Amino acid sequence: MKAIFPLLAAVSLSLAGNVYVTDYEYQADLNVYVVDYEYQADLSVYVVDYEYQARGEDSLWYFCDYGYQADVSVYFCDYGYQADLKVYYVDYQYQAGWRGGHPWQERLH
- What pLDDT, in 10s, does the model give residues 8-19? 333 333 333 799
**In terms of C-beta density within 10 A (0-12 exposed, 13-18 middle, 19 or more buried), how is residue 92 classed?**
exposed
Residue 70 has pLDDT above 80, yes or no: yes
30-34 vs 60-63, strand pairing mode: unpaired
pTM value is 0.78
Confidence class for position 102, pLDDT limits 50, 70, 90: confident
pLDDT tens by residue, 28-65: 999 999 999 999 999 999 999 999 999 888 899 999 99
Cα separations in angstroms, 87 against 56, 61, 101, 108:
18, 11, 14, 13
Cα separations in angstroms, 96 against 42, 48, 82, 89, 93:
11, 11, 23, 8, 6
Is the dihedral angle over the CA atoms 51, 52, 57, 60 positive or is it negative?
Answer: negative
Closest by CA position to 43, among listed 97, 93, 79, 92: 97
Confidence class for position 109, pLDDT limits 50, 70, 90: low
Residue type, 15: L
